[in-house]
Amino acid sequence: MKTLPIQGIPAPQVFEDLESLRSNDVDWRNGRVFSLAYYAGPEASAVAEDAYRRFSGENALSTDAFPSLRIMQSDVLSMVGPWLGADTDSAGFMTSGGTESILMVVKAARDQFVASGGVTQPNIVLPTSAHAAFEKACHYFGVESRRCAVGSDWRADVAVMEPVIDSNTILLVASAPQYPQGVIDDVPGIASLAMKHGVNCHVDACMGGVTLAYLERLGHGIPPWNLKVPGVTSISVDLHKYGYTSKGASVVMYRNKQLRSHQGFVTDNWLGGMYASSGVLGTKSGGAIASAWAVLCHLGDDGYTQLTDRARRATVQLAEHISDHDHLVLRGYPDSTLLSFGAVDPSALNVFAVADELRTRGWYVDRQSPPDSLHCTVSAVHRSTIDAFISDLDSSIKKVLDSRMSGNVGTYGNLE
């Protein structure tokens, strides 16, 4: 464990030490990592990093002091809005990521319905496939989570969700797509159910909000999924995923300003004067905002169209290989660019051992359970590496089958 140096270390040595520290990190720029990071190429990455550097010290807590950040946030919302089906009444905020977007939606729904006087013990109803961040939100804000089993196709089952709704329900959740199996929920069905019971409906499109918009433009048949669906009251999209911006950039968009008003926090109950914040964070670096603005402007519609097409082609190639495989089963045919797969016979093939073997060959994939599966988040960079991955996947499977190797599930996130 390092202690604070008595004398400061020269900058070149500091940077050398930093590079040494990352020596065992996954190299997400080389197209061999199917999780956590997204790469649109060196030029877009340079734009993202340089924009972040230029505004890293600016503080979005006060856009009166930094009006450039107010303009950039407004521009980002305006540029992203059409992807999400926003109209002139829609209003949103930027947040630090999908988890904060989800936290804020749950908080906003709680405050909205508790203020109405009819809700005393708020709950949300959501499928078991909805993101873990909803559990975090419920834990933080004193809201009950009512998880409902998904159907055999891994999509939310509207018929299972309805009986769980009661007078204290404030929010229904749909995903576009859900993360574990990469399929889109029945958004119109869930939104219609929300309207029937007079509650909010949030679509978690943190993974799909960019990709689905451009897959539609490319002529792919995408089921209704955004604010254009009657009954959807809010939607979230992460720009630091398939928007290829620096980490720390997400958008939550509400159908109107009245719904958005419940997200914010305002107080003057201290000696420092009026304090207002749109999210969990107070001080917020302008870096992520500037990076999002810069990358959106740099890539434009044509850039995102090309990146989406490349990611989708790689996804389909991998999905079709798995579908035809003797030892693998695709959990669900991917609706966008996420997929997961397991073993036809788990007693013969341990997929976590396959992940271990892939890691020795320089590949990183997510592990998830239940059921035991490997998960791939496929992005544009994988178009050039998917052939090599498929080859190493097959070789890894053969080695695990021959040796009867076993592996562990690991964790998606950790506390360290």
Written as tens digits, the pLDDT of the chain (416 aa) is 889 999 999 999 999 999 999 999 999 999 999 999 999 999 999 999 999 999 999 999 999 999 999 999 999 999 999 999 999 999 999 999 999 999 999 999 999 999 988 899 999 999 999 999 999 999 999 999 999 999 999 999 999 999 999 999 999 999 999 999 999 999 999 999 999 999 999 999 999 999 999 999 999 999 999 999 999 999 999 999 999 999 999 999 999 999 999 999 999 999 999 999 999 999 999 999 999 999 999 999 999 999 999 999 999 999 999 999 999 999 999 999 999 999 999 999 999 999 999 999 999 999 999 999 999 999 999 999 999 999 999 999 999 999 988 888 776 665 56
Fold of the domain built from segment(s) 47-297: Aspartate Aminotransferase; domain 2 (3.40.640)
The letter for the amino acid at 108 is A
Q: Which residues contact 51 (CB under 8 A, 6 or more apart)?
A: 246, 287, 290, 291, 293, 294, 295
Residue spans of the domains in the chain: they are 47-297, 301-403
The gap between the terminal CA atoms of the chain, to the nearest Å, is 14
User: What does the pLDDT read at residue 414?
Assistant: 58
User: What does the pLDDT read at residue 404?
Assistant: 86
User: What does the pLDDT read at residue 346?
Assistant: 95
The letter for the amino acid at 190 is I
| Contact between 69 and 294 (Cβ < 8 Å) | no
Sign of CA dihedral 81, 83, 87, 93: negative
Rg (CA), the chain: 22
Domain 47-297 identical in fold to domain 301-403: no
Dihedral, CA of residue 94, residue 97, residue 100 and residue 104, to nearest 10: 40
Which strands sit side by side in the sheet containing 169-175, from one edge to the other?
91-95, 250-254, 234-238, 200-204, 169-175, 123-127, 144-148
Residues paired with residue 175 on neighbouring β-strands, in sequence order: 204
User: What does the pLDDT read at residue 405?
Assistant: 83
| Contact between 250 and 239 (Cβ < 8 Å) | yes
User: What does the pLDDT read at residue 183?
Assistant: 98
Residues paired with residue 309 on neighbouring β-strands, in sequence order: none
Q: How far is it, in rounded angstroms, from Cα 155 to Cα 159? A: 12
The phi and psi torsions of 368 (rounded to 5 degrees) equal -150, 160
The phi and psi torsions of 250 (rounded to 5 degrees) equal -140, 160
User: What does the pLDDT read at residue 118?
Assistant: 84
User: What does the pLDDT read at residue 406?
Assistant: 82
Sign of CA dihedral 319, 324, 325, 326: positive
- The pTM of the full predicted model, rounded to 2 decimals, is 0.94
CA 369 to chain centre: 19
Fold of the domain built from segment(s) 301-403: Aspartate Aminotransferase, domain 1 (3.90.1150)
Helices first, then strands: H and E counts in the chain: 12, 13
Count the Cβ atoms, other than its own, within 10 Å of residue 385.
17
Q: How far is it, in rounded angstroms, from Cα 183 to Cα 368? A: 16
